[in-house]
């Protein structure tokens, strides 16, 4: 019988690109097995989708490359090597499992259709390998919530009230550093933008998100926003801002690819409250993390229905696919200067404020009555902080086929007057020379 320590555990990284509070990594490192990591730049995420958009455009691609570079460095501090491949996981992972005598694969539980298709294709080739999946991306663990996933409330407020006072947040997972003998020969390399079929570019001078990818940058931002500048204490007042790096926490991009966990942020808020003060703003940041959880639970409950035109409400509206209107929306050539400014910001930086997103999505779905899935697919392509659950959850919500019982429509003119009273944001993107 083979000795236990001669076996290998493979940590398959997907949307959990960190070493702090990573359940899959923690569980693998707690065994007596050798531990190696793997990340695949799956070509299917760099193809063009049915609407004509590249699934992962340059902004998120660059952020991802920076993230993987940092992940590799952080793993080496734990004496774990990260194998990186620019190929399909279902092609390379079985080969790696055979080469290194992998007995166990540890991974985050990602349940959306594309991720499950890849996972099932790999499992079909690895009959004698055990897969260990963990919920690694949520604030509230599914085992801890006080209702079944099938009974997730239809309204966010009910969901929040059922959880925030009654369900405890778990402590962050602790990772054990392995001995140097765990290291392997690793001649794999991280691809370049060019390898991914994308031209290099410089970050726009007016970008509200000029940050780099990776766990190190995420923690640096957290430390700066919370403890150096104490901007956390004003978060609720500034979060609807439009210009600059500090009107909101900007954690969403690192959360989206798992460079930082929601639990890490939660416990740092609690540390801030203990060391400094507790107010409406410190609570509101946690409130937003609960919203993020909510959309993940909605997708857990409804599965692929979140990608369908009638949404989770099965509402049958008349939707248009007018190419000219879609093009004008994308290029910032609509009848609304506020929508146009936000769309140009997205096109040139890969970022848009929360306020902007709600307005341009409402305009797309309710004013132009365009198929909301096209707007969602465009956001997926361009947004640095694209998260499948939040993106489709929010688009359904705004389009009137999701979790909004009121089926609201934004008055973009009134919104512009309220949130861009002096026109500073619109001037920045529509008439840069005047700014």
Query: Residue 2 pLDDT > 70, yes or no?
Result: no
Place of tokens 């993020």: 292
pLDDT value of residue 1 = 33
Q: In the chain, list all ranges with CATH 1.10.579.10.
A: 308-434
Q: Where are the alpha helices (DSSP H) in 303-362?
A: 323-330, 337-349, 354-362
Q: Are strands 8-12 and 102-108 parallel, antiparallel or unpaired?
A: parallel
Whether domain 7-136 has CATH 1.10.10.60: the reply is: no
As a whole number, mean pLDDT of residues 231-246 equals: 93
Query: How many whole angstroms separate alpha carbon 392 and alpha carbon 402?
Result: 9
CATH number for the segment(s) 308-434: 1.10.579.10
Query: What pLDDT is attached to residue 146?
Result: 85
pLDDT digits (tens, 9 = 90+) for 134-174: 999 999 999 999 888 999 998 899 999 999 989 999 999 99
| Helix 388-399, helix 280-302: angle, nearest 10 | 90
* Cα(187)–Cα(184) distance, integer angstroms: 10
- What pLDDT, on the 0 to 100 scale, is given for residue 434? 44
Confidence band for 403, pLDDT divided at 50, 70 and 90: confident
Give ∠ CA 74-93-261 in degrees, rounded to 5.
35
Q: Average model confidence (pLDDT) for the chain?
A: 93
Please state, in angstroms and rounded to a whole number, the distance separating the CA atoms of residues 15 and 258.
5
Phi-psi region of 169 (alpha: psi -120 to 50; beta: other; left: phi over 0): beta
| pLDDT at residue 6 in the model | 73
Task: State the pLDDT at residue 92.
Answer: 97
Name the nearest CA neighbour of 193 among 75, 71, 56, 349. Answer: 56
Q: What percent of the chain has pLDDT over 90?
A: 90
Domain with CATH 1.25.40.80 in the chain: 137-170+215-307
pLDDT, tens digit (0-9, with 9 covering 90-100), for 309-337 = 999 999 989 999 999 999 999 999 999 99
Per-residue pLDDT of 410-421, as tens digits, reads 899 999 999 999
Average pLDDT, integer, range 194-200 = 94
| pLDDT for 279 | 96
> What pLDDT is attached to residue 127?
86
Nearest to 239 by CA among 82, 398, 355, 100: 355
Task: Read off the pLDDT of each residue in 282-294 and give the average, rounded to a whole number.
Answer: 96
What fold is seen in the domain 137-170+215-307? 1.25.40
Helix (H) or strand (E) holding 380: helix 372-382
Residues of the chain within CATH 3.40.50.620 domain(s) are 7-136
Rounded to two decimals, the pTM is 0.94
Flag the least confident range among 53-57, 120-124, 146-150, 367-371. 146-150
Residues in the chain: 435
Average pLDDT (231-248) is 93
- 56-79 pLDDT, tens per residue? 999 999 999 999 999 999 999 999
| Interval 203-220 mean pLDDT | 96
pLDDT at 405: 64
Neighbours of 106 (CB within 10 A): 27
């Amino acid at each position: 019988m083979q000795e236990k320590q001669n076996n290998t555990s493979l940590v398959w990284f997907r949307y959990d690109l960190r070493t702090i509070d990573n359940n899959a990594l923690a569980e693998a490192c707690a065994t007596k097995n050798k531990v190696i990591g793997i990340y695949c730049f799956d070509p299917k995420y760099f193809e063009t989708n049915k609407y004509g958009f590249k699934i992962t455009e340059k902004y998120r691609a660059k952020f991802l490359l920076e993230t993987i570079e940092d992940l590799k460095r952080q793993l080496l501090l734990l004496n774990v090597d990260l194998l990186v491949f620019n190929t399909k996981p279902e092609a390379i992972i079985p080969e790696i499992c055979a080469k290194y005598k992998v007995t166990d694969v540890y991974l985050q539980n990602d349940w959306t259709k594309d991720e499950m298709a890849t996972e099932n294709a790999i499992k079909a080739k690895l009959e004698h390998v055990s897969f260990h999946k963990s919920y690694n991306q949520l604030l509230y663990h599914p085992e801890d919530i006080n209702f079944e996933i099938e009974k997730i409330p239809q309204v966010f407020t009910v969901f929040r009230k059922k959880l925030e006072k009654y369900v405890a947040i778990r402590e962050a997972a602790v990772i054990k550093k392995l001995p140097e003998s765990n290291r392997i020969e690793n001649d794999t390399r991280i691809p370049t933008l060019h390898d991914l079929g994308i031209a290099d570019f410089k970050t726009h001078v007016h970008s509200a998100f000029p940050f780099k990818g990776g766990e190190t940058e995420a923690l640096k931002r957290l430390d700066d926003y919370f403890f150096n500048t104490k901007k956390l204490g004003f978060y609720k007042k500034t979060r609807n801002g439009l210009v600059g790096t500090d009107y909101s926490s900007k954690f969403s991009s690192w959360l989206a690819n798992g460079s930082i966990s929601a639990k890490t942020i939660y416990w740092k808020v609690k540390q801030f409250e203990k060391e400094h003060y507790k107010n409406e703003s410190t609570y509101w940041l946690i409130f937003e993390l609960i919203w993020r959880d909510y959309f993940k639970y909605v997708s857990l409950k409804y599965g692929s229905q979140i990608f369908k035109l009638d949404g989770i409400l099965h509402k049958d509206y008349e939707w248009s696919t007018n190419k000219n209107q879609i093009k004008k929306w994308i290029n910032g050539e609509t009848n609304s200067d506020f929508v146009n400014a936000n769309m140009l910001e997205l096109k040139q930086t890969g970022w848009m404020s929360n306020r902007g997103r709600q307005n341009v999505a409402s305009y797309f779905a309710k004013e132009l009555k365009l198929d909301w899935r096209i707007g969602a697919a465009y956001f997926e392509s361009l947004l640095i902080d694209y998260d499948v659950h939040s993106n489709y959850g929010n688009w359904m919500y705004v389009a009137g086929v999701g979790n909004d019982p009121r089926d609201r429509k934004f008055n973009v003119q009134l919104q512009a007057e309220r949130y861009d009273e002096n026109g500073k944001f619109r001037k920045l993107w529509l008439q840069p020379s005047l700014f």
